[in-house]
C-alpha cells in the first residue's frame, strides 16, 4: 500500500542526486589529466561506479513501486491486458523523454570560434570554416549543465503539482479501477405494451441501469 508514496520519495532523491553528476562531470577533466597527459586514477572508477550504483538502485526501486501499484489496480478479469497497457504507457514515457532530452543538449549548447568570435560554430559549414582558418570551436555554454538545471526545476514543479493527486490514487480501493461491463445483473429491460386498438404492433424495448 506504500508503492506510490515510495515512488514520490524516490523522485525527490533522484532529482537531488542529479547534481552529483554535474559535479562529477565538471571535475572529470581535472582528475583524469595531469600536465596535459591522460592518466585516469583508480579512485575515479570507484566514484563512477558508486554514482551509477546509487542511480540504478533508485531507478529500480521506483520501477518496482510503480509495478506493484499497477498490479494492485489491475482488473483481475483481464489483468494481463491491463498490466500490459499500463506498463507500455509508462515505458513509452521514459523512453521518449530520454531521447528528447539528449536531442535538446545540442540546442542548449553554444560555441564560438577561437579566432573569430562572430562565428558561432552552429552548423557544420561554420565549424569547417573555423577549422580551415586555424581556429577551434570553443564551448561557451554547455547544454548538459543547462538541461540538468531546467529538468530539476521542472521535476520539483511537477512534484508540487501532482503529489496530492498521486497520493489520492493510492487511497482508492481496487473496485475504483475496475473496468465497467454491462451485464444482465445491472440492466433492467423495459417493454412498452401495445395499445388495444393497434392492428400491428412493434414492442419498444429500452435498457436502463438499475
Q: How confident is the model over 21-76, as pLDDT tens digits?
A: 999 999 999 999 888 888 899 999 999 999 999 999 999 998 888 888 888 888 77
Helix (H, G, I), strand (E, B) or coil at 197: coil
Q: How far apart are CA 128 and CA 119, in angstroms?
A: 11
pTM of this structure: 0.72
Q: What does the pLDDT look like over 68-104, one tens digit per residue?
A: 888 888 877 776 788 888 888 888 887 888 888 888 8
d(CA 112, CA 123): 11
For the chain, the structural domain boundaries read 3-107+155-181, 109-141
Residue 68 and residue 3: Cα distance in Å, rounded?
6
Helix axes 3-32, 42-73, angle to 10 degrees: 160
Cell 392492428 found at: 199
Angstrom distance (rounded) from CA 183 to CA 190: 15
Amino acid at each position: 500500500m506504500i508503492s506510490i508514496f515510495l515512488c514520490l520519495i524516490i523522485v525527490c532523491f533522484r532529482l537531488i542526486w542529479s547534481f552529483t553528476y554535474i559535479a562529477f562531470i565538471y571535475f572529470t577533466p581535472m582528475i583524469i589529466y595531469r600536465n596535459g597527459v591522460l592518466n585516469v586514477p583508480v579512485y575515479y572508477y570507484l566514484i563512477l561506479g558508486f554514482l551509477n550504483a546509487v542511480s540504478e538502485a533508485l531507478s529500480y526501486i521506483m520501477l518496482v513501486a510503480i509495478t506493484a501499484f499497477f498490479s494492485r489496480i489491475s482488473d483481475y478479469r483481464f489483468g494481463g491486458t491491463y498490466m500490459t497497457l499500463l506498463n507500455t504507457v509508462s515505458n513509452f514515457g521514459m523512453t521518449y523523454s530520454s531521447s528528447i532530452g539528449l536531442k535538446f543538449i545540442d540546442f542548449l549548447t553554444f560555441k564560438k570560434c577561437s579566432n573569430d568570435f562572430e562565428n558561432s560554430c552552429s552548423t557544420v559549414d561554420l565549424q569547417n570554416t573555423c577549422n580551415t582558418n586555424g581556429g577551434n570551436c570553443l564551448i561557451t555554454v554547455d547544454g548538459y549543465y543547462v538541461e540538468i538545471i531546467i529538468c530539476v526545476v521542472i521535476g520539483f514543479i511537477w512534484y508540487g503539482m501532482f503529489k496530492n493527486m498521486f497520493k489520492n490514487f493510492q487511497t482508492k480501493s481496487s473496485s475504483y479501477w475496475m473496468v465497467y461491463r454491462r451485464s444482465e445483473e445491472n440492466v433492467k429491460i423495459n417493454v412498452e405494451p401495445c395499445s388495444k386498438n393497434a392492428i400491428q404492433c412493434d414492442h419498444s424495448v429500452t435498457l436502463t441501469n438499475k
